């Protein structure tokens, strides 16, 4: 049966730009996938740079588009924002009853262990299939950056550090910085990558990748001091201890903020302006 073409699900005018939502059949993930895309005014910005946004555990692309409030500043700066879903989905896709594994929790890696390996190829989906798809249907400047929240912050750092000549900057809100060291990451990596060959875990851990960089991509990180997951699940101290002192990293631990999208909305403008400086 032939694959369905790109199907538009939503179209909303926003701050002079357009907030869009699409569905397509993914060959890499072997299931239908949705993604959202914000385009600034195409008359003013016919070839905008592209910011990728990766969402966190149990989220979809809607969490960012509905709650972050990014459209106003993106429209002003002329930045397009692409928001993929967080995992493959469907009745035939492997899942788990807990929110931190399975559907909604793809961890932006390529799984090697059954049953996950059949569908959970999020890294290849994003960096190859979805990347090619959007270039076929939309026109961008060729300049890209990447950002995300929580599990998506982990994904942004890993994808950005693995592709340093592609992304001009990386940013993250409350990222899982050291997944090999914390319960969320250990559970995901054990299932997706296997417990025996833990050497492969290093390929998907920002704390490991940051030590091996040969090309430094500027990074901005915001974390809330009142985040209930800060010490146990996010572990910024370990990541910071592994980052070279001369690395172009700006890290903010801000009082009063938690893990929610209220936190993301409070600093999304700063992140957009950070990326605009590096496009």
Active-site annotation holds for 227? yes
Active-site annotation holds for 110? no
Residue 112 has pLDDT above 80, yes or no: yes
Question: How confident is the model over 217-274, as pLDDT tens digits?
Answer: 999 999 999 999 999 999 999 999 999 999 999 999 999 999 999 999 999 999 999 9
Both tokens assigned to 63: 């969490």
Predicted pLDDT at 24? 97
Residue 177 has pLDDT above 80, yes or no: yes
Residue 83: half-sphere exposure toward Cβ, Cα within 13 Å: 25
Predicted pLDDT at 198? 85
Work out the pLDDT band at 4, boundaries 50, 70, 90. low
Residue 227 lies in a domain: yes
Active-site annotation holds for 259? yes
Residue 45 has pLDDT above 80, yes or no: yes
Predicted pLDDT at 1? 37
| In contact, 125 and 26? CB cutoff 8 Å | yes
Three-state SS across 127-171?
Answer: HHHHHHHHHHHCCCCCCEEEEEECHHHHHHHHHHHHCCCCEEEEE
Residue 170, beta-bridge partner list? 146, 219
Selected catalytic residue, list 110, 205, 227, 235: 227
Residue 246 lies in a domain: yes
| In contact, 182 and 235? CB cutoff 8 Å | yes
Residue 56 lies in a domain: yes
Residue 2 lies in a domain: no
Give the three-class secondary structure for 100.
Answer: coil
Selected catalytic residue, list 24, 222, 259, 275: 259
| In contact, 140 and 80? CB cutoff 8 Å | yes
Selected catalytic residue, list 150, 178, 207, 266: 150
The whole domain housing 253 covers 7-278
Question: How confident is the model over 47-67, as pLDDT tens digits?
Answer: 999 999 999 999 999 999 999
Residue 1 lies in a domain: no
Both tokens assigned to 208: 């490991």
Residue 121 lies in a domain: yes
Does the N-terminal peptide bond of residue 115 adopt cis geometry, omega within 30 degrees of 0? Answer: yes
> In this prediction, what percent of the chain has a pLDDT beyond 90?
96
Question: How confident is the model over 180-192, as pLDDT tens digits?
Answer: 999 999 999 999 9
Q: Which residues 6+ apart lie within 8 Å of 138 measured at CB?
A: 37, 39, 80
Predicted pLDDT at 197? 73
Residue 264 lies in a domain: yes
Proportion of the chain in helix, strand, coil states, percent, rounded to 5: 35, 25, 40
Average pLDDT value over all residues in the chain: 96
CA distance 58 to 137: 28
Work out the pLDDT band at 196, boundaries 50, 70, 90. confident
Residue 125 lies in a domain: yes
Predicted pLDDT at 2? 45
Question: How confident is the model over 142-172, as pLDDT tens digits?
Answer: 999 999 999 999 999 999 999 999 999 999 9
What strands, in cross-sheet order, belong to the sheet with 144-149? 7-14, 17-26, 31-39, 80-84, 50-54, 144-149, 167-173, 219-224, 249-254
Residue 29 has pLDDT above 80, yes or no: yes
User: pTM of this prediction?
Assistant: 0.96
Give the three-class secondary structure for 209.
Answer: helix
Return the CATH number at 203: 3.40.50.1820
CA distance 45 to 248: 29
Predicted pLDDT at 273? 98
Q: Which residues 6+ apart lie within 8 Å of 246 measured at CB?
A: none
Q: Are strands 144-149 and 219-224 parallel, antiparallel or unpaired?
A: unpaired
Question: How confident is the model over 72-103, as pLDDT tens digits?
Answer: 999 999 999 999 999 999 999 999 999 999 99
Residue 19 has pLDDT above 70, yes or no: yes
The structural domain count of the chain equals 1
């Amino acid at each position: 049966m032939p694959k369905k073409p790109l199907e538009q699900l939503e179209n909303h005018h926003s701050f002079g730009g357009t907030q869009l939502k699409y569905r397509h059949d993914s060959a890499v993930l072997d299931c239908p996938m949705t993604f959202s895309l914000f385009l600034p005014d195409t008359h003013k910005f016919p070839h905008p740079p592209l910011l990728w946004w990766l969402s966190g555990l149990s989220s979809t692309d809607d969490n960012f588009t509905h709650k972050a409030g990014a459209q106003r500043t993106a429209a002003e700066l002329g930045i397009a924002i692409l928001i993929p879903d967080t995992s493959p989905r469907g009745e035939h896709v492997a899942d788990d009853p807990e929110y931190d594994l399975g559907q909604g929790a793809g961890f932006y890696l390529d799984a090697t262990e059954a049953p996950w390996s059949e569908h959970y190829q999020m890294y290849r989906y994003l960096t190859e299939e979805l990347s090619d798809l959007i270039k076929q249907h939309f026109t961008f400047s060729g300049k890209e950056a990447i950002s995300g929240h929580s599990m998506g912050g982990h994904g942004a750092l890993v994808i950005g550090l693995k592709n340093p000549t592609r992304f001009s900057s990386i940013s993250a809100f409350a990222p899982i910085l050291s997944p090999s060291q914390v319960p969320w990451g250990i559970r995901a990596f054990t299932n997706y990558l296997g417990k025996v060959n833990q050497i492969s875990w290093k390929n998907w851990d920002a704390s490991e990748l940051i030590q091996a960089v040969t090309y430094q991509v500027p990074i901005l990180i915001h974390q809330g001091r009142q985040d209930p997951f800060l010490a146990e699940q996010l572990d910024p101290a370990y990541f910071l201890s592994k980052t070279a002192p001369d690395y172009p990293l700006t890290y903010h631990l801000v009082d009063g903020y938690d893990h929610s999208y209220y936190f993301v909305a409070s600093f999304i403008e700063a992140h957009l302006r950070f990326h605009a400086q590096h496009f």
